[in-house]
A and B are shown apart, each in its own frame.
Chain A
Amino acid sequence: MHLRSVRSASAFIFVLIFVLASLAYAQEAAGIISGTVTDSSGKAVAKTKVLATNKVSGQSAEAQTDFEGHYTIPNLAPGDYEVTVSEDGSKATGTATLAAGAQQTVSLTLASSQTAPPTLPSAPTPQKTEPQQNEPSLSDLGFAPAETKANPREQALLDKRTHMLKIHQRMGLITTIPMIATVITSLQAGGHKEDSATRDLHVALGSLTGDLYGITAYYAIRAPKIKGTETRGQIKFHKAMAWIHGPGMILTPILGAMAYSQKNNGEKVHGIAQAHGPVAIVTAAAFGAALVSVSFKF
Chain B
Amino acid sequence: MIRKLFPCFLFLLFAVSATFAADTTWVLKQSTLTYHVSHPLHQSEGTSHAARGKGICHDGQCDFLIAVPVKTFDSGDSNRDLHMLQVTRGAEYPMVTVRTKLPESAANQSTIDADLEIQFAGQTAHYSQVPFQVTTQGNEKHITGTIPAKLSDFKIEPPSLLTMPVKNEIPIRVDMTWAPQ
**Chain A residues near B (Cβ < 8 Å):** 47, 63-64, 66, 72, 74, 127, 131-132, 134-138, 140-143, 147-152, 154-155, 157-159, 161-162, 165, 169, 173, 226, 229-235, 238, 294-297
Given A136-B56, A147-B69, A162-B83, are A235 and B78 also a contact pair (CB < 8 Å)?
A: yes
- Contact status A149-B94, CB under 8 Å: yes
- Contact status A233-B52, CB under 8 Å: no
User: Which residues of chain A come closer than 8 Å to B43, judged between CB atoms?
Assistant: 297
- Encode contact with A along B26-66: 1 for CB under 8 Å, 0 otherwise: 00000000000000011110000000111110100001110
A/B interface sample: 24 pairs, CB < 8 A: A64-B123, A64-B124, A131-B63, A136-B55, A137-B65, A138-B65, A141-B67, A147-B71, A147-B94, A151-B92, A152-B91, A155-B90, A158-B90, A161-B82, A165-B83, A173-B162, A226-B82, A231-B79, A232-B76, A232-B77, A235-B77, A295-B41, A297-B41, A297-B42
User: Which residues of chain B come closer than 8 Å to A155, judged between CB atoms?
Assistant: 86, 89-92
- Contact status A233-B80, CB under 8 Å: yes
- Encode contact with A along B66-100: 1 for CB under 8 Å, 0 otherwise: 01010100011111101101110111111101010
- Contact status A142-B78, CB under 8 Å: no
Q: What's the least CB distance linking A69 to chain B, in Å?
A: 13
- Contact status A66-B77, CB under 8 Å: no
A127 to B125, alpha carbons, bound, how many Å? 12
Q: Which residue of B lies closest to A170 (CB)?
A: B163
Given A138-B67, A295-B162, are A229 and B78 also a contact pair (CB < 8 Å)?
A: yes
- Contact status A152-B92, CB under 8 Å: yes
Q: What's the least CB distance linking B114 to chain A, in Å?
A: 15
The reply to whether the CB of B113 lies closer than 8 angstroms to some CB of chain A is no
- Encode contact with A along B149-170: 1 for CB under 8 Å, 0 otherwise: 0000000000001100000000
Interface centre among B65, B94, B117 (most CB of A within 10 A): B94
Interface centre among B64, B92, B95 (most CB of A within 10 A): B92
User: Which residues of chain B come closer than 8 Å to A232, judged between CB atoms?
Assistant: 76-78
Interface residues on B, range: 35 or more
Of A143, A165, A235, which contacts B52 at CB under 8 A?
A: A143
- Contact status A140-B69, CB under 8 Å: no
User: Which residues of chain A come closer than 8 Å to B124, judged between CB atoms?
Assistant: 47, 64, 127
- Contact status B63-A230, CB under 8 Å: no
User: Which residues of chain A come closer than 8 Å to B56, judged between CB atoms?
Assistant: 134-136
Q: Which residues in chain B, 103-141, are within 8 Å of chain A measured between CB atoms?
A: 117, 122-124
**What are the 8 A-B residue pairs with the smallest beta carbon separation, nearest first?**
A233-B77, A297-B42, A158-B86, A155-B91, A235-B79, A154-B91, A136-B54, A141-B52
Of B44, B67, B86, B117, which contacts A297 at CB under 8 A?
A: B44
Q: What's the least CB distance linking B62 to chain A, in Å?
A: 9
Q: What's the least CB distance linking B101 to chain A, in Å?
A: 9
- Contact status B78-A158, CB under 8 Å: no
- Contact status A148-B77, CB under 8 Å: no
- Contact status B122-A158, CB under 8 Å: no
User: Which residues of chain A come closer than 8 Å to B92, judged between CB atoms?
Assistant: 72, 74, 150-152, 155
User: Which residues of chain A come closer than 8 Å to B80, judged between CB atoms?
Assistant: 233, 235
User: Which residues of chain B come closer than 8 Å to A159, judged between CB atoms?
Assistant: 86
Having A47-B124, A147-B69, one finds 14 other A-B pairs with CB under 8 Å, namely A134-B23, A134-B56, A138-B65, A140-B54, A143-B67, A150-B92, A150-B93, A151-B91, A151-B94, A155-B91, A158-B91, A161-B86, A232-B77, A233-B77
A141 to B93, alpha carbons, bound, how many Å? 17
User: Which residues of chain B come closer than 8 Å to A150, judged between CB atoms?
Assistant: 91-94
Q: Which residue of A lies closest to B44 (CB)?
A: A297
- Contact status A63-B122, CB under 8 Å: yes
User: Which residues of chain B come closer than 8 Å to A74, judged between CB atoms?
Assistant: 89, 92
A11 to B75, alpha carbons, bound, how many Å? 42
Of A135, A151, A173, A234, which contacts B65 at CB under 8 A?
A: A135
User: Which residues of chain A come closer than 8 Å to B63, judged between CB atoms?
Assistant: 131-132, 134-136
A63 to B94, alpha carbons, bound, how many Å? 15
A71 to B67, alpha carbons, bound, how many Å? 19
- Contact status A66-B78, CB under 8 Å: no
User: Which residues of chain B come closer than 8 Å to A229, judged between CB atoms?
Assistant: 78, 82
User: Which residues of chain B come closer than 8 Å to A148, judged between CB atoms?
Assistant: 69, 94-95
A157 to B86, alpha carbons, bound, how many Å? 9
A154 to B54, alpha carbons, bound, how many Å? 29
- Contact status B65-A296, CB under 8 Å: no
